[in-house]
Amino acid sequence: MAKLDIIQFPEPILRETAAPVEQIDEDTLRLLDDMLETMREAPGVGLAAPQIGLSRRIFVMDPSREEEDPTPYFILNPEILERGDELRVYEEGCLSMPGIYAEVSRPACILMRYVNRNGEQREDWFEGHAATIAQHEFDHLNGVMFVDHLSRLKRDVLVRKFRKLRKSDSGEA
């Protein structure tokens, strides 16, 4: 397995709609494993293919808490079929915007149809933390960043803060 480079905002691919996965072959399986390893090493709880520069409708996630056994999901070509009425506010961050966090309101549960790494079509309800992660990663496949769910004022403040962080990390004056 290989650790992949995570691209950062404002790379254009992060704003594009990703292409469907046509087949699951050895390269796809290797990619899924590499994405999971990259996500864990980052560390993160989810990673979408556009975040590593690939326009493919793939994401990996592991909603397990530190004290729990890992429960990785390999999600290909997802669709959200239903969204619950109840909303959940959760502080989100993003591996493509390191150091930036904000409270985002999303449905507390969703029904998602997807293909797993074995090529099986599944429909699963995700609730709570898992629902938040799944929606965050699903957004990436549609060119949406978590800051897009904020007011324009909050989004602009966070984008400026992120640009300032990137400048200071790169050593620019």
Task: State the catalytic residues.
Answer: 137
Structure tokens at 163: 């640009």
The count of C-alpha atoms lying within 13 angstroms of the C-alpha of 50, restricted to the half-sphere facing its C-beta, is 26
Helix (H, G, I), strand (E, B) or coil at 152: helix
Query: Reduced to 3 DSSP states, what percent helix, strand and coil does the chain have, rounded to the nearest 5?
Result: 35, 30, 35
Residue 160 to residue 119: CA distance in whole angstroms: 42
CB 9 within 8 A of CB 96: yes
